[in-house]
Amino acid sequence: MPFFYWVTVNLDTGETKFSETLAEHARYVAEYQAWCADNPGRCL
């Protein structure tokens, strides 16, 4: 199963999620953005 996209969704634990579709990746990016909102100053 090839993965085409990845995003680290939690910078504390390093949890990284992989996906094959752009739609799935977008959901994980939203998860990362929510983590960033909950951890001000941690994300660029």
Q: Where are the domains of the chain?
A: 5-38
Q: Which pTM does this prediction carry?
A: 0.86
Q: DSSP for 1-44?
A: ----EEEEEETTTTEEEEESSHHHHHHHHHHHHHHHHHSTTS--
pLDDT in tens, 9-33: 999 999 999 999 999 999 999 999 9
Categorize the per-residue pLDDT at 5 as very low, low, confident or very high, splitting at 50, 70 and 90.
Answer: very high
Categorize the per-residue pLDDT at 41 as very low, low, confident or very high, splitting at 50, 70 and 90.
Answer: very high
pLDDT at 1: 66
Whether the predicted pLDDT of 2 surpasses 80: no
Residue written as token pair 């909102």: 37
